[in-house]
Amino acid sequence: GNSVTQMEGPVTLSEEAFLTINCTYTATGYPSLFWYVQYPGEGLQLLLKATKADDKGSNKGFEATYRKETTSFHLEKGSVQVSDSAVYFCAISNFGNEKLTFGTGTRLTIIP
Amino acid sequence: EAEVAQSPRYKITEKSQAVAFWCDPISGHATLYWYRQILGQGPELLVQFQDESVVDDSQLPKDRFSAERLKGVDSTLKIQPAELGDSAMYLCASSLSSGTSGSREQFFGPGTRLTVL
């Protein structure tokens, strides 16, 4: 079955710092890859996605590249803001089946 | 902007009691999902509906959990009897359809936080 291993948190950074949250996966077939974000008191929101090898998903200054050779989908942002404080989840699903398998989440706190 | 609605937002109950959660997906979304998110963990799929039919309930504890989507629109998830280990966030999500053209975005509701005492 599918599984996702995500960087342990919590992560605390200063504003304008560079962010990396690591994510690796195991899957049967050729999965689609996602990053979801959960702000306090809210449901999950799709942040970005990639559906094939070497695709780069991007949104709100965040980026992640589908690396099939290393089965990874690391999330990066060049300059974080206080408003980026949230919990970030890496997730995968198989082609034709939208069932999502999530990582454990990484809590990110940005201090001014 | 269309959203997935869930109620209640919070529920406190005693063990052995029955609880029910309601979800109204985005209009036109044929696929509906119920996830359970235990504190400090990622969501895990409990049940997936395509219209009114169950597509996947392999992780649903069927001795105490039940889910229905009678008219293929809104859905109810029930637990009877509730146990201490059921304390979690229950998330509902919907998507246009599961199909062969690749993964479609799931839109999540705000969740129902259940506390079992």
**Per residue in B33-66, pLDDT tens?**
999 999 888 999 999 999 999 999 999 999 999 9
Mode of pairing for the β-strands spanning A106-111 and A11-14: parallel
Chain A residue with Cα closest to B57: A99
- The minimal CB distance from A98 to the residues B41, B95, B108 is found for B95
pLDDT bucket at A77, cuts 50 / 70 / 90 = very high
Chain B: closest CA distance from residue A62 (Å): 18
Q: What is the pLDDT of residue B99?
A: 56
pLDDT at B19 over 80: yes
Chain B: closest CA distance from residue A95 (Å): 5
Q: What is the pLDDT of residue B6?
A: 97
* Test mutation, B96, B103, B107, chain A, max A CBs within 10 A: B103
**Per residue in B71-105, pLDDT tens?**
889 999 999 999 999 999 999 999 987 554 555 78
Q: What is the pLDDT of residue A96?
A: 66
**Per residue in A14-63, pLDDT tens?**
999 999 999 999 998 889 999 999 998 888 999 999 999 999 999 999 99
B59 vs A: CB within 8 A: no
Chain A residue with Cα closest to B113: A41
Q: What is the pLDDT of residue B112?
A: 96
Here the tokens at position B42 are: 């990622």
Q: Please name the helix (run of DSSP H) or strand (run of DSSP E) that holds residue B66, with its range, or none.
A: strand B65-68
Percent of chain A having pLDDT more than 70? 97
Chain A: closest CA distance from residue B37 (Å): 10
The 3-class secondary structure across chain B, one letter per residue, is: CCCCEEECCEEEECCCCCEEEEEECCCCCCEEEEEEECCCCCCEEEEEEECCEEEECCCCCCCCEEEECCCCCCEEEEECCCCHHHCEEEEEEEECCCCCCCCCCCEECCCEEEEEC
